[in-house]
Amino acid sequence: MTHLTDEQLTDYLSGASLPAIDDHLAACGVCRQEIASMRSSFQVFHHASMEWSERMQNAPSVRRAAPSGNWAAVWAVACVAVIVAVLLFGVLSRPMKTGVRNAASAASSDSDTAELSRDNQLLAAIDKELDSADLSPQKMYGISESVKAR
């Protein structure tokens, strides 16, 4: 005996009852059990969502926290990085005299390396700070990850 497809089960639960599906459910215990299991899952979800809704309705109003200054710092660092890149491109793309260029490029290379190192440290600190802030909706609204059936 072939069983009902997922689509047919969903249609039946949605109220689209066809005589062929009704006849099959009358004869097939496996499909009846699947329908009962799906209804049970829907009821668990319904109860859990109603409890959450009531909790949120009765909870003191939750104001969204104002964005922290971290984004301002990120934008500031990004702007500084763009300005530094533009200045470096301008300085390095200008033609220089051969003798002066070697000495200038050695000094520039050392200062560029030090500046890039400082920039990388700053970006790593910002990234670490952003990663440590847990702003998930589950934490903000106290939603548990699993809901037990009642």
pLDDT in tens, 8-45: 888 888 888 788 888 888 999 999 998 898 888 888 88
- The amino acid occupying position 85 is A
Of 122, 110, 112, 113, the C-alpha closest to 79 is: 122
pLDDT tens readout for residues 83-140: 888 887 776 666 655 555 555 566 667 788 888 889 989 888 887 777 666 666 666 6
> Would you say 1 and 28 are in contact if contact means Cβ atoms under 8 Å apart?
yes
Q: Identify the residue with better confidence: 144 or 54.
A: 54
Instruction: Tell me, rounded to whole angstroms, the distance of Cα 36 from its chain centroid.
Output: 34
Over residues 36-56, the mean pLDDT reads 87
Secondary structure of 117-133 as H, E, C letters:
HHHHHHHHHHHHHHHHC
Other Cβ atoms closer than 10 A to 4: 20
Give the separation between CA 119 and CA 88, rounded to whole angstroms.
14
